[in-house]
């Protein structure tokens, strides 16, 4: 045993020596750079030789290596790298051509920590013992910098990946598709998507693209979009589209997924050239938010458009009132033509300055009369101030051609401090308006004039009344004193004066009433056949008396009267003559000559005759000025001479009015101080003399009324009794109703033919005569339409009579009751 050990010892020593010898042969190696080492391939790779470079590199002494590391190479190796080193050594020993060129990188523990080393070893066999030897090179610095670079690269990749992720954020899935091989590879699949749950794609695995599309579209795309989606996603289509453009997007809708999304956008991007031929990227994202936003935007836009359109309509509607609308920017002196009628477009030239444009228009268009005003109005510089407190200013002007314009400057925009910055300048042609306005002004002026003349007329009339009124009161006083003194003759004389003043007043009032009736259009002629000669005789009688009083010589001459019976309003006819004659007497100093000449002129084939009257006096005559206005109702020329004559009256005015109504004419010739001649021509119808005779012979036959039975509607008992009694005297019986209502009732209740007529008071309580008549005429019983109804009223006014006839009354009787008239009217109306 001992021998064995000794033998082994000897062998080991021998080996060592041999090794030492071998190494010393390469003593030069000791000082070679790098860390030379030689180790046995035995367990743990005990060092056979350690170069200075080796120890220097790691900082260990040989002793420390021998002690601390049991002189074993492997113990210096980083535990993680030990396997690698073992593999390396094994590899060295098994490789056929392993003498050179094999190296390994691993960590060795140095005193200052692990060093990265590159080990380049060779396996050698010495005496059957396997050794490996070689150099280690410290590459810690390199490795560190490589790691740093790696880290930097990693970091950069991270950033890029992050960018990519952000870029892909929107996309629920991204696929790489090869259009040539029809292969798709999912690059990104958002977790927990419905699609993913169903289709179960896996990242970076290859799938058949066409199948995927078919599968997906069948399962998810809404029927309406299915064909579109499939067509878009065919390989051919994608190829075609991406040939001309690097990318395109399309939208489609899916069945509502559990995630609640239904609007999707697909994007295909050509990446050929980067990744290889036929490669594209396909990304899908849901765009519900986007669509909702778009739709909101769209509806907002539509709303806005609608509003704009409405505003446009309003503007156009309003604008149609205007002939021109300009928007003017006051601050920049610019304007935009918004609307301009062809008629006036030439007014507004093409001057870019708003101010100058307006000034130019004023100068060229506006009439001289309004030029200054319009120039001021159009001064835009002053406008800002003028519009500070108001929203528009306007002006009207007439153009040189006489066209009326109205222009307005309307505030369009103000700055924050309220200064006007933009205005609308609008203008319209207002000729029609202006004509109407002028018409109104003329009317108002006329009314004003009429009013003023009426006022002056009233004051004159008041004056005319006061004069006789004063004399009445004066003479009354005298008369009273005369009576007290029992001077009856003198008192009587005063009474005469009072009477004449009173009569004058009466005639004045009558004249005024006539005039106002004519003015109101209420005057109606009452024409009947009359005897001209008789009328003239009446006139003569009346005038003769007055003429005598003033010691005038009055002569009447009637000649060539071929038609003595004419149809006219005799009262008015006579009044015309009388008024002129009265004036002649009045305005001719005592002892003058007054003459009336009447003759007729034939008007063949008309059934008419013209009766001409020439009335001459030798009076004071009339001035031309006076003659101009002598017929004017409310405007009398002043003539100092006339004021001396009491009771100027309204004679001529009335004469003129009557003649106008009767369709005649009046002319006058006058010479101051010599006299006046009036010529009155009146055309009237005429009748044969006999006609009037038969007419006038129609005397009222009171007996016709005998035995008649009438209904009297009268509210006052006394009046009822009076009429009853009076009728009874003439063998007429009657029944009475105390108001209109009971009159209607009595009539309605009575058998047909009970009454021959109804006398109807107008003013009654409960129901007046007018309403009662209307009711009776409205009854359905037949005789209600035919029974004569005769009005009885104190109001003898023409308009009242008309009202009576209008509601269906047959005749009118004025109160107080005149039995002759009652009988006559009754006789005329009953059968």
Kindly list the residues in this chain that would bind another protein in the complex (CB under 8 A). Answer: 715-719, 721-722, 725-726, 729, 761, 763, 765, 794, 815-820
| Residue 424 main-chain phi, psi, to 5 deg | -105, 130
> Distance between CA 237 and CA 213 in Å, rounded?
13
What DSSP state is assigned to residue 419?
-
> Distance between CA 186 and CA 190 in Å, rounded?
10
Least separation, in Å, of the C-beta of 472 and another protein? 17
The nearer residue to another protein, 385 or 818, going by C-beta atoms, is 818
> Distance between CA 253 and CA 222 in Å, rounded?
6
Least separation, in Å, of the C-beta of 798 and another protein? 17
> Distance between CA 47 and CA 26 in Å, rounded?
16
Least separation, in Å, of the C-beta of 764 and another protein? 8
The answer to whether the beta carbons of residues 341 and 324 sit under 8 Å apart is yes
The nearer residue to another protein, 531 or 763, going by C-beta atoms, is 763
Instruction: List, in order, residues 6 or more apart from 299 with CB less than 8 Å away.
Output: none
Least separation, in Å, of the C-beta of 721 and another protein? 6
Least separation, in Å, of the C-beta of 733 and another protein? 16
Strands ordered across the beta sheet of 47-50: 47-50, 35-40, 129-138, 113-126, 103-110
Instruction: List, in order, residues 6 or more apart from 468 with CB less than 8 Å away.
Output: 501, 502, 504, 505, 508, 646, 647
Least separation, in Å, of the C-beta of 825 and another protein? 14
The nearer residue to another protein, 351 or 763, going by C-beta atoms, is 763
| Residues in the chain, overall count | 831
The H helix count followed by the E strand count for the chain is: 28, 28
| Residue 18 main-chain phi, psi, to 5 deg | -60, -40
Least separation, in Å, of the C-beta of 775 and another protein? 20
The answer to whether the beta carbons of residues 39 and 19 sit under 8 Å apart is no
Instruction: List, in order, residues 6 or more apart from 133 with CB less than 8 Å away.
Output: 36, 37, 38, 39, 48, 49, 121, 122, 124
Least separation, in Å, of the C-beta of 530 and another protein? 23
Left, alpha or beta for 581 (phi > 0: left; psi -120 to 50: alpha)? alpha
The nearer residue to another protein, 268 or 732, going by C-beta atoms, is 732
Least separation, in Å, of the C-beta of 726 and another protein? 6
Q: For residue 229, how many C-alpha atoms fall within 13 Å in the half-sphere facing its CB?
A: 25
The nearer residue to another protein, 139 or 817, going by C-beta atoms, is 817
The nearer residue to another protein, 193 or 724, going by C-beta atoms, is 724
Least separation, in Å, of the C-beta of 821 and another protein? 8
What DSSP state is assigned to residue 738?
S
Least separation, in Å, of the C-beta of 714 and another protein? 9
The nearer residue to another protein, 514 or 761, going by C-beta atoms, is 761
H or E stretch covering 223:
helix 223-232
What DSSP state is assigned to residue 399?
B
Q: Which two tokens stand for residue 750?
A: 């009575």
The nearer residue to another protein, 717 or 806, going by C-beta atoms, is 717
Q: Do strands 733-737 and 709-713 pair parallel, antiparallel, or not at all (unpaired)? A: parallel
The nearer residue to another protein, 617 or 761, going by C-beta atoms, is 761
The nearer residue to another protein, 563 or 824, going by C-beta atoms, is 824
| Residue 49 main-chain phi, psi, to 5 deg | -150, 140
The answer to whether the beta carbons of residues 217 and 226 sit under 8 Å apart is yes
Least separation, in Å, of the C-beta of 794 and another protein? 5
Least separation, in Å, of the C-beta of 769 and another protein? 12
Least separation, in Å, of the C-beta of 776 and another protein? 22
> Distance between CA 466 and CA 594 in Å, rounded?
30
The nearer residue to another protein, 307 or 815, going by C-beta atoms, is 815
The nearer residue to another protein, 225 or 738, going by C-beta atoms, is 738
The nearer residue to another protein, 80 or 818, going by C-beta atoms, is 818
The answer to whether the beta carbons of residues 735 and 713 sit under 8 Å apart is no
The nearer residue to another protein, 531 or 795, going by C-beta atoms, is 795
Least separation, in Å, of the C-beta of 814 and another protein? 10
Closest CA to 789 of 745, 744, 726: 744
Least separation, in Å, of the C-beta of 800 and another protein? 12
The nearer residue to another protein, 453 or 795, going by C-beta atoms, is 795
The nearer residue to another protein, 256 or 796, going by C-beta atoms, is 796
> Distance between CA 136 and CA 566 in Å, rounded?
167
Least separation, in Å, of the C-beta of 713 and another protein? 13
The nearer residue to another protein, 353 or 507, going by C-beta atoms, is 507
Closest CA to 647 of 590, 582, 588: 582
The nearer residue to another protein, 303 or 818, going by C-beta atoms, is 818
Count CB-CB contacts under 10 A for residue 449.
12
> Distance between CA 562 and CA 540 in Å, rounded?
20
C-alpha distances in Å from residue 228, one per residue of 231, 234, 281, 735: 5, 10, 19, 105
> Distance between CA 540 and CA 230 in Å, rounded?
125
Closest CA to 50 of 41, 62, 32: 62
Least separation, in Å, of the C-beta of 709 and another protein? 20
Secondary structure (DSSP) of 324-380 = EEEEEETTTTEEEEEEE-HHHHTTS---S-HHHHHHHHHHHHB-HHHHHHHHHHT-H
């Amino acid at each position: 045993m001992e021998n064995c050990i000794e033998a082994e010892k000897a062998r080991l020593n021998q080996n060592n020596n041999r090794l030492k010898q071998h190494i010393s042969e390469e003593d030069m190696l000791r000082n070679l750079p790098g860390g030379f080492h030689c180790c046995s391939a035995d367990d743990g790779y005990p060092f056979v030789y350690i170069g200075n470079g080796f120890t220097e590199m790691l900082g260990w002494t040989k002793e420390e290596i021998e002690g601390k590391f049991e002189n074993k190479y492997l113990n210096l190796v980083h535990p993680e790298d030990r396997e690698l080193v073992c593999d390396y050594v094994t590899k060295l020993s098994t490789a056929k051509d392993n003498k050179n060129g094999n190296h390994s990188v691993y960590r060795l523990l140095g005193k200052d920590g692990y060093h990265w080393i590159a080990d380049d070893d060779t396996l050698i066999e010495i005496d059957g013992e396997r050794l490996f030897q070689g150099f280690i090179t410290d590459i810690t610095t390199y490795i560190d910098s490589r790691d740093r670079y790696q880290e930097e690269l990693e970091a950069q990749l991270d950033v890029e990946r992050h960018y990519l992720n952000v870029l892909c954020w929107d996309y629920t899935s991204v696929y790489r598709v090869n259009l040539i091989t029809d292969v798709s590879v999912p690059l990104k699949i958002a977790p927990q998507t419905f699609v993913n749950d169903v289709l179960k794609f896996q990242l970076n695995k290859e799938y058949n693209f066409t199948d995927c599309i078919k599968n997906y579209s069948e399962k998810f795309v809404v029927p309406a979009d299915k064909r579109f989606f499939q067509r878009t996603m065919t390989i051919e289509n994608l190829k075609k589209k991406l040939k001309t453009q690097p990318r395109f997007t399309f939208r489609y809708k899916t069945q509502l997924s559990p995630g609640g999304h239904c609007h999707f956008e697909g994007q295909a991007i050509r990446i050929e050239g980067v990744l290889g031929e036929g490669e594209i990227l396909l990304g899908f994202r849901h765009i519900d938010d986007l669509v909702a936003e778009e739709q909101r935007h769209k509806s907002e836009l539509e709303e806005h458009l609608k509003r704009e359109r409405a505003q446009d309509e309003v503007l156009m509607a309003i604008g149609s009132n205007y002939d021109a609308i300009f928007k003017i920017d006051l601050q920049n002196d610019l304007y935009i033509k918004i609307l301009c009628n062809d008629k006036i477009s030439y007014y507004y030239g093409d001057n870019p300055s708003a101010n100058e444009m307006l000034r130019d228009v004023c100068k060229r268009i506006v009439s001289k009369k309004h030029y200054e005003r319009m120039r001021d109005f159009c001064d835009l510089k002053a406008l800002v101030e003028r519009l500070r407190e108001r929203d528009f200013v306007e002006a009207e002007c007439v153009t040189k051609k006489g066209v009326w314009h109205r222009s307005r400057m309307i505030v369009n925009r103000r700055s924050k401090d309220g200064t006007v910055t933009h205005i609308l300048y609008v203008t319209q042609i207002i000729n029609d308006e202006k004509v109407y306005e002028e018409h109104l002004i003329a009317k108002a002026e006329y009314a004003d004039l009429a009013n003023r003349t009426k006022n002056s007329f009233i004051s004159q009339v008041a004056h005319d009344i006061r004069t006789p009124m004063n004399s009445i009161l004066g003479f009354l006083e005298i008369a009273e004193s005369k009576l007290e003194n029992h001077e009856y003759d003198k008192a009587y004389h005063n009474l005469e004066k009072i009477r004449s003043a009173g009569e004058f007043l009466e005639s004045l009032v009558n004249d005024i009433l006539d005039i106002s009736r004519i003015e109101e259009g209420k005057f109606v002629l009452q024409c009947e056949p009359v005897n001209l000669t008789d009328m003239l005789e009446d006139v003569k009688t009346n005038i003769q008396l007055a003429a005598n009083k003033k010691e005038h010589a009055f002569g009447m001459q009637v000649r060539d009267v071929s038609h003595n019976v004419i149809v006219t309003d005799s009262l008015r006819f006579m009044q015309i003559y009388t008024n002129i004659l009265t004036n002649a007497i009045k305005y001719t100093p005592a002892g003058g000559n007054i003459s009336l000449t009447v003759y007729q002129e034939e008007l063949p084939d008309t059934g008419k005759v013209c009766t001409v009257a020439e009335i001459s006096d030798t009076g004071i005559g009339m001035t031309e000025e006076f003659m101009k206005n002598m017929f004017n109702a409310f405007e009398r020329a002043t003539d100092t001479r006339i004021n001396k004559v009491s009771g100027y009256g309204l004679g001529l005015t009335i004469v003129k009015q009557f003649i106008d109504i009767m369709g005649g004419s009046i002319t006058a010739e006058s010479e101051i101080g010599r006299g006046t001649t009036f010529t009155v021509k009146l055309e009237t119808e005429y009748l044969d003399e006999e006609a009037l005779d038969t007419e006038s012979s129609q005397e009222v036959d009171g007996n016709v009324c005998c035995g008649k039975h009438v209904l009297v509607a009268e509210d006052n008992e006394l009046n009822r009794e009076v009429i009853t009694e009076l009728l009874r005297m003439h063998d007429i019986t009657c029944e009475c109703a105390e108001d209109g209502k009971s009159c209607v009732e009595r009539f309605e209740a009575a058998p047909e033919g009970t009454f021959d007529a109804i006398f109807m008071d107008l003013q009654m309580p409960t129901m007046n005569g007018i309403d009662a008549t209307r009711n009776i005429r409205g009854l359905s019983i037949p005789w209600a339409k035919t029974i004569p109804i005769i009005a009885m009223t104190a109001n003898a006014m023409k308009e009242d009579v008309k009202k009576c006839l209008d509601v269906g009354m047959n005749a009118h009787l004025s109160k107080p009751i005149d039995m002759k008239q009652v009988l006559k009217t009754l006789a005329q109306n009953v059968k």
